[in-house]
């Protein structure tokens, strides 16, 4: 399989204080989805901006779709689509006019631009709103339109920067469906997200980034296994049974069960997965211990992040805040 | 497509987008149309009574070309304002990620804003006619007068484009340009005859291109008294040529600066 995106040693500093990228390496195979996972300020947006020609790195090289990003930015722009964190759509144009304009600026010609605009409006469920000005659109509609804009030229490589940040749960679910459809068509996708659940659902491989570099790489399952295997969790119905339940759990293997007395919960690491769960339930039943909840827990990506960085994913270090958007760049760096 | 053809087609696309926006954002349109009317009426009735004939013509007739010049120069501020606004809104990120000609965003902006100045000239001319201003030359000369005004304003809009992309905040563009444009358009022959100005200011006014564009319009509209003495200085003796030279130099300097600043401003 060919490599669709390759970045080596990307560095970008803002002033002397902020290092947005600190030697970032990344490779994405053609036709796969790479999830770039990290908290605010980790360098996700900066990575996307570099790979989409919007920002020149201080150091490093990058190749997308076989084209050198730094040497031939204009040629690369024909082969990529970008949808950013803040929908880059024109408020005062209609949805159709926005897409038509993008098509023309890709030099698709008048007829093809119109055709693509109307195909995409249908595909993204924007037919009804097609001829209304975007200023009346909901956040979800804007994002869909922005994503449609990224697809006008049917680019082989697509970049989505936090496509669901700020959307309500329904908007998020809708966006996920759209993205899954896209990927099924063979597009290579680089996706950034702060949501562990999102990376887990959409990405084939995940690069966890923090302070401008990749700190872990692998499939969701590989990352989770770094934290440790599965655990069986049982909540007893009567608190008095807790110690007896723990004694049964201890018989499953070498690992020591962990007790949570407040919730009446016993957690024990196991090897056998579902089979261990069945065995424990049978033992508890024989002992006449009533169970109110039971489950096989896999480590979440939250656990992964905690393990890798020593802090929860939501807790971004404020000193590492990068200018994530052109807006904040405008306010933090007034005049060049 | 060649680079020039690309620049041309992309500029058309961006110009269309900007013109649509101008028509759809009523506050811009209203401001564009109301403020020139206000200027014509205020100066005609407030100053018109106190100031008698100037250079052998009525003050209102003298005044109109000055107001035209001031208004179109102010109108070009909109170019900088809009570009700064586009930078803030993020649409520029979309443009920058497309294989379009980088100059098209700024060219398309300045061209669309000629539309604003055409509109305000039409409104001002009609208002002027109502308060007694007259064109006393041929249609062709009058058209040339409007054209000189538009060409000069177009050149100024490149300066504003550069300023807008440099400061990146629409409100700052407006305030900054006011501080520069207001004195520039008053230290000229726009509202009073240049002979009344004190020494150094008078020299400045004689070479101020706002004076020459005003003088050019006045002559081409026939708003100077027949047999009036020739103005002092080469600039005002050849106002059309002097104005066009300024316009050419301004565009030659500021168009490359603005395009380069656009690429810089967008790549942060």
Judged by a CB distance cut-off of 8 A, whether residue B6 touches chain A is: yes
Q: Take residue A52 and report the two structure tokens written for it.
A: 């989409």
Same domain, A193 and A169: yes
Q: Give the pLDDT of residue A146.
A: 92
Q: Give the pLDDT of residue B49.
A: 73
Cβ distance A82 to A159 under 8 Å?
yes
Q: Give the pLDDT of residue B1.
A: 67
Q: What is the DSSP letter of B46?
A: I
Residues of chain A contacting B93 with CB distance shorter than 8 Å: 54, 82, 84, 88, 326
The rounded distance, in Å, linking the Cα atoms of B167 and B179 is 15
The DSSP H or E segment spanning A181 is: helix A169-184
Residues 38-57 of A with CB under 8 A from B: 52-56
Same domain, A243 and A293: yes
Same domain, A44 and A170: yes
Residues of chain B contacting A56 with CB distance shorter than 8 Å: 267
Is A105 domain-assigned?
no
Nearest to B116 by CA among B233, B213, B18, B208: B18
Cβ distance B191 to B43 under 8 Å?
yes
Same domain, A216 and A320: yes
- In degrees rounded to 5, what are phi and psi of residue A93? -100, 160
DSSP assignment string, A217-268: EE-HHHHHHHH---EEEEEESSGGGHHHHHHHHHTTSSSPPEEETTTTEEEE
Is A135 domain-assigned?
no
Please state, in angstroms and as integers, the Cα–Cα distance from residue B166 to each residue in B161, B162, B258, B266, following that order: 8, 6, 9, 11
Domain count along chain A = 2
Same domain, A159 and A292: no
Is A288 domain-assigned?
yes
- Do the chains contact at B21 and A90, CB–CB below 8 Å? yes
Is A56 domain-assigned?
yes
Q: Take residue B18 and report the two structure tokens written for it.
A: 């900007």
Judged by a CB distance cut-off of 8 A, whether residue B168 touches chain A is: yes
Is A260 domain-assigned?
yes
CA A100 to chain centre: 29
Q: Give the pLDDT of residue A335.
A: 33
Same domain, A201 and A252: no
- Do the chains contact at A335 and B9, CB–CB below 8 Å? no
Judged by a CB distance cut-off of 8 A, whether residue A280 touches chain B is: no
DSSP assignment string, A188-219: EEEEEES-HHHHHHH-SEEEEEETTEEEEEE-
Residues of chain A contacting B92 with CB distance shorter than 8 Å: 88, 326
Cross-chain CB nearest to B99 (options A92, A106, A149) = A106
Nearest to A148 by CA among A192, A95, A112: A95
Q: Give the pLDDT of residue B139.
A: 93
The mean pLDDT of chain A is: 85
Cross-chain CB nearest to A333 (options B1, B98, B268) = B268
Strand partners, A27: A6
Q: What is the CATH number of the domain that holds A244?
A: 3.30.70.920
Cβ distance A121 to A96 under 8 Å?
yes
The rounded distance, in Å, linking the Cα atoms of A56 and B108 is 25
pLDDT tens digits for range A237-264: 888 888 888 888 888 877 788 888 888 8
Sheet with A231-236, strands from edge to edge, namely A258-260, A265-269, A231-236, A291-297
Nearest to B157 by CA among B44, B243, B257, B78: B78
Same domain, A179 and A284: no
State yes or no: pLDDT of A327 exceeds 70: no
Q: Give the pLDDT of residue B178.
A: 86
The rounded distance, in Å, linking the Cα atoms of B151 and B250 is 11
pLDDT tens digits for range A73-100: 999 999 999 998 777 899 999 999 999 9
Same domain, A10 and A27: yes
Judged by a CB distance cut-off of 8 A, whether residue B20 touches chain A is: yes
Q: What is the CATH number of the domain that holds A39?
A: 3.40.50.300
Q: In angstroms, what separates the C-alpha of B100 from chain A's closest C-alpha?
A: 5
Judged by a CB distance cut-off of 8 A, whether residue B1 touches chain A is: yes
Closest chain A residue to the Cα of B7, Cα to Cα: A105
Cross-chain CB nearest to B90 (options A104, A326, A336) = A326
How many residues does the structure list for chain B? 268
Is A121 domain-assigned?
no
Q: Give the residue-averaged pLDDT of A210-238.
A: 85
State yes or no: pLDDT of A8 exceeds 90: yes
Residues 128-167 of B with CB under 8 A from A: 166-167
Same domain, A159 and A256: no
The rounded distance, in Å, linking the Cα atoms of B106 and A204 is 41
pLDDT tens digits for range B225-266: 777 778 888 999 999 999 999 999 999 999 999 999 998 876
- Do the chains contact at A77 and B97, CB–CB below 8 Å? yes
Buried b (16+ CB within 10 A) or exposed e, B189-213: bbbbebeebeeeebeebbebbbbbb
Neighbours of A56 (CB within 10 A): 12
The rounded distance, in Å, linking the Cα atoms of B186 and B164 is 23
Residues of chain B contacting A101 with CB distance shorter than 8 Å: 13, 16-17
Q: Take residue A61 and report the two structure tokens written for it.
A: 């090289």
Judged by a CB distance cut-off of 8 A, whether residue B3 touches chain A is: no
Q: Give the pLDDT of residue A303.
A: 74
Q: Take residue B12 and report the two structure tokens written for it.
A: 């058309």
DSSP assignment string, B99-151: SS-TTHHHHHHHHHHHHHHHHHHHHHHHHHHHTT----S-HHHHHHHHHHHHH
The rounded distance, in Å, linking the Cα atoms of B40 and B125 is 9
State yes or no: pLDDT of A272 exceeds 90: no
What does the CA dihedral A317, A320, A324, A327 come to, rounded to 10 degrees? Answer: 100
Q: In angstroms, what separates the C-alpha of B176 from chain A's closest C-alpha?
A: 14
How many residues does the structure list for chain A? 336
Interface ipTM above 0.90: no
Q: In angstroms, what separates the C-alpha of B115 from chain A's closest C-alpha?
A: 18
- Its domain, for residue A265, covers 230-297
Is A21 domain-assigned?
yes
Is A23 domain-assigned?
yes
- Each residue's pLDDT, cut to its tens digit, for chain B (268 residues) gives 688 999 999 999 999 999 999 888 878 778 778 888 888 888 888 877 777 777 667 888 888 999 999 999 988 899 999 999 998 887 888 898 899 998 999 999 999 999 989 999 999 999 999 988 999 999 999 999 999 999 999 999 999 999 999 998 989 998 888 888 889 999 999 988 888 899 899 999 999 999 999 999 999 999 987 777 788 889 999 999 999 999 999 999 999 999 999 988 766 5
Same domain, A161 and A283: no
Exposed, middle or buried by CB within 10 Å (0-12, 13-18, 19+), for A275? exposed
Please work out, in degrees rounded to the nearest 5, the angle formed at the alpha carbon of residue B187 by the alpha carbons of B181 and B192: 120
Same domain, A239 and A279: yes
């Amino acid at each position: 399989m060919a490599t669709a995106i390759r970045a080596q040693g990307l560095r970008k500093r803002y002033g002397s204080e902020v290092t947005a990228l600190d030697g970032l390496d990344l490779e994405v195979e053609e036709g796969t989805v790479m999830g770039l996972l990290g908290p605010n300020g980790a360098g996700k947006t900066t990575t996307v901006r570099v790979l989409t020609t919007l920002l020149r790195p201080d150091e490093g090289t990058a190749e997308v779709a076989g084209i050198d990003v730094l040497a031939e930015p204009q040629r690369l722009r024909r082969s990529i689509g970008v949808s950013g964190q803040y929908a880059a759509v024109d408020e005062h144009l209609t949805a159709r006019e926005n897409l038509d304009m993008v098509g023309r600026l890709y030099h698709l010609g008048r007829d093809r631009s119109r055709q693509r605009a109307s195909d995409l409006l249908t595909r993204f469920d924007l037919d009804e709103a097609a001829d209304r000005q975007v200023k009346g659109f909901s956040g979800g509609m804007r994002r869909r339109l922005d994503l449609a804009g990224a697809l006008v030229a049917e680019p082989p490589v697509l970049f989505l920067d936090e496509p669901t940040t700020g959307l309500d749960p329904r908007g998020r679910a809708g966006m996920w469906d759209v993205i899954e459809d896209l990927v099924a068509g063979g597009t290579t996708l680089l996706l950034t997200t702060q949501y562990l659940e999102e990376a887990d659902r959409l990405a084939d491989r995940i690069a966890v980034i923090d302070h401008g570099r990749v700190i872990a790489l692998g499939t969701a399952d590989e990352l989770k296994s770094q934290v440790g295997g599965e655990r069986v969790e049982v909540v007893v119905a009567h608190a008095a049974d807790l110690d007896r339940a723990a004694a049964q759990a201890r018989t499953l293997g070498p690992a020591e069960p962990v007790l949570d007395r407040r919730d009446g919960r016993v957690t024990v690491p196991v090897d056998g997965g579902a089979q261990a769960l069945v065995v424990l339930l049978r033992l508890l039943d024989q002992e006449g211990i009533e169970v109110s909840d039971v489950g096989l827990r896999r480590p979440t990506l939250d656990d992964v992040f905690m393990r890798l960085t020593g802090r929860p994913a939501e807790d971004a270090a404020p000193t590492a805040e990068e200018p994530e958007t052109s807006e904040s760049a405008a306010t933090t760096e007034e005049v060049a | 497509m060649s680079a020039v053809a690309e620049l041309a087609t992309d500029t058309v696309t961006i110009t269309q987008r900007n013109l649509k926006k101008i028509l759809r954002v009523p506050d811009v349109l209203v401001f564009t149309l109301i403020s020139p009317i206000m200027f014509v009426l205020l100066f005609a009735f407030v100053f018109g009574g106190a100031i008698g004939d100037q250079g052998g013509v009525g003050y209102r007739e003298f005044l109109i070309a000055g107001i035209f010049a001031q208004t179109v120069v102010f109108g070009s501020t909109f170019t900088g304002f809009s570009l700064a606004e586009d930078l803030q809104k993020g649409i520029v990120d979309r443009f920058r990620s497309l294989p379009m000609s980088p100059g098209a965003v700024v060219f398309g902006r300045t061209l669309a804003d000629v539309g604003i100045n055409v509109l305000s000239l039409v409104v001002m001319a009609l208002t002027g006619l109502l308060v007694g201003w007259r064109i006393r030359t041929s249609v062709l000369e009058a058209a040339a007068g409007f054209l000189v005004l538009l060409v000069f304003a177009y050149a100024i809009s490149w300066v504003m484009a550069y300023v807008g992309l440099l400061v990146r905040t629409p409100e700052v563009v407006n305030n900054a340009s006011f501080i520069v444009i207001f004195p520039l358009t008053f230290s000229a022959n726009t509202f009073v005859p240049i002979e009344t100005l004190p020494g150094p200011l008078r020299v400045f006014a004689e070479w101020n291109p706002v004076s020459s564009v005003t003088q050019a319009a006045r002559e081409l509209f026939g708003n100077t008294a027949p047999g009036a003495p020739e103005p002092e200085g080469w600039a005002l003796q050849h106002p059309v040529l002097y104005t066009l030279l300024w316009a050419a130099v301004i565009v030659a300097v500021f168009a490359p600066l603005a395009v380069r600043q656009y690429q810089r401003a967008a790549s942060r």
